[in-house]
Amino acid sequence: MNYPANRSPSTISIDAERLWSRHMEMARIGAIDGTGSCRLAMTAEDAEARELLASWCRQAGLDVHVDGAGNMFAVRPGSDPQRLPVASGSHLDTQPHGGRFDGISGVLAALEVIETLNDEGIETAAPLAVVNWTNEEGVRYAPGLLGSAWYAGLLDDEALARVKTADGTPFLQEARERGWLGDSADKFPLGAFVELHIEQGPTLEREGLQVGIVTSVQGLRWLDVEVRGTDAHAGTTPLDQRQDALFASARMLVALNEIGRRYGSAARVSVGQLRTATDGPSTIVGHASFVVDIRHPDADTLEQLTQECVAVCGTTGKASGCEVAVSERITIPPTAFHDTCITALERSAEEQGYSCRRMASGALHDAANVAKVAPTAMIFVPCRDGVSHNVKEYASPEDLAAGTNVLLHAVLKLAR
Ligand SMILES: [Zn+2]
């Protein structure tokens, strides 16, 4: 490496003002409700945001490539032609009532790292890359995490070709028309990937910490629960002679919540949807169904937790005189991030004097897909009240700068 004589790389830091002003400039595209953003994937707004990012990247001397899912890779060469790029980034697309930071901060932090190295005249052995993954949010096109799923081989070319909007516009057609589709054979290999993201939860803020080192993304299970009792008259059927599917479901919900709490603070057990076949105030419900959403960062614990949830639905239903059938709808195993990347981030946070903790991500992120094909980890910065997917989403300039400084020094470690 080639440092200016009086600068040690361990003392450099990013330009917090430039980072913040880029956030504000990006937020002008698709601005809604004062502080919100609406840039759905491959709309005119998304295309404009991509063009702005590409122009900043070119000004920073980077070569901008686009792959067969519209993912953007802006590359700064390294001194060792044998090395694969150390990449960082996230997504520029937003929810319909999204904020200015979810995804955007990760992309802009990656660019800020490279601009800082440019300013300091620091060359790395491995090339560096800024990545913008396509359609993380999955609003116009399902599934979400589309670009990174294709990149990691979790979605093949045929499946990508079938992705359409609700009104039938194919994803590939729209990406091509917007000028953001590359050659599908062209998958851009990465040596490592580190994604900065706002936490989207309250933990860092509550604990007064500046940085979260994300060691895993929690796994998820969905259980479909069908509860069968007997429709009956509310006035004539004595309480001890009912097979009340709604009452049985209510008891199951309480029992499920209790199981979740027993598994400690990392466990999540939720029911967000409950349907009844009858809907009259004077009818005892004969058929109800609901979905249990179960999450945990540890695969074995997730399995155990799931089995307890299945069992309690059976016993509680039976005790209420109803028949219960439980089936599994979705399983997404937890993703463990790579030790090398985790350690690089943690050391950087400690060396720069930022308070931090290791944590699991409650939300899914592109990094969980990329982890299938390259060493990967994530860094979280706090966001106010844990609010995200909301126009009020806010991360402070100081916290963004702290996270980006950690990213800078982690990238230097990984790319040296
Ligand atoms: Zn995001």
DSSP β-ladder status, 72-76 and 86-90: unpaired
Residue 44 token pair:
């005119």
Last residue of a domain, one of 294, 310, 330: 330
287 alpha carbon – ligand 1 mean position (Å) = 38
Domain containing residue 294: CATH number: 3.30.70.360
In a domain, 3, yes or no: no
In a domain, 2, yes or no: no
354 and 313 assigned to the same domain: no
392 alpha carbon – ligand 1 mean position (Å) = 15
30 alpha carbon – ligand 1 mean position (Å) = 17
145 alpha carbon – ligand 1 mean position (Å) = 9
Nearest in space to 343 (alpha carbons), one of 356, 328, 332, 330: 356
In a domain, 250, yes or no: yes
206 and 269 assigned to the same domain: no
How many folded domains does the chain comprise? 2
DSSP symbols for 290-344: EEEEEEESSHHHHHHHHHHHHHHHHHHHHHTT-EEEEEEEEEE--EEPPHHHHHH
136 alpha carbon – ligand 1 mean position (Å) = 7
Contact 398/178 with Cβ under 8 angstroms?
A: no
pLDDT tops 80 at residue 336? yes
β-bridge mates for residue 227, sequence order: 288, 324
β-bridge mates for residue 87, sequence order: 129, 193
353 and 325 assigned to the same domain: no
91 alpha carbon – ligand 1 mean position (Å) = 7
Counting residues of the chain whose pLDDT is more than 90, the rounded percentage is 91
pLDDT tops 60 at residue 4? no
Q: How confident is the model at residue 294 (pLDDT cuts 50, 70, 90)?
A: very high
pLDDT tops 70 at residue 1? no
Last residue of a domain, one of 288, 305, 330: 330
For the chain, give the mean pLDDT.
95
Residues 6+ apart with CB under 8 A from 52: 25, 26, 29
What does the pLDDT look like over 189-212, one tens digit per residue? 999 999 999 999 999 999 999 999
In a domain, 1, yes or no: no
380 alpha carbon – ligand 1 mean position (Å) = 11
17 alpha carbon – ligand 1 mean position (Å) = 22
350 alpha carbon – ligand 1 mean position (Å) = 25
DSSP symbols for 196-227: EEE--SSHHHHHT-SEEEEEEE-EEEEEEEEE
Residue 143: asked if its preceding bond is cis (omega within 30°), the reply is yes
153 and 200 assigned to the same domain: yes
Contact 405/347 with Cβ under 8 angstroms?
A: no
329 alpha carbon – ligand 1 mean position (Å) = 24
In a domain, 58, yes or no: yes
Domain containing residue 113: CATH number: 3.40.630.10
Domain membership of residue 296 as a residue range: 219-330
164 alpha carbon – ligand 1 mean position (Å) = 21
Q: What angle do CA 211, 136, 73 make, to 5 degrees?
A: 80
123 and 192 assigned to the same domain: yes
201 and 271 assigned to the same domain: no
112 alpha carbon – ligand 1 mean position (Å) = 18
137 alpha carbon – ligand 1 mean position (Å) = 7
216 alpha carbon – ligand 1 mean position (Å) = 15
Q: How confident is the model at residue 7 (pLDDT cuts 50, 70, 90)?
A: low
271 and 132 assigned to the same domain: no
What does the pLDDT look like over 236-262, one tens digit per residue? 999 999 999 999 999 999 999 999 999
Distance CA 389, CA 364 (A): 13
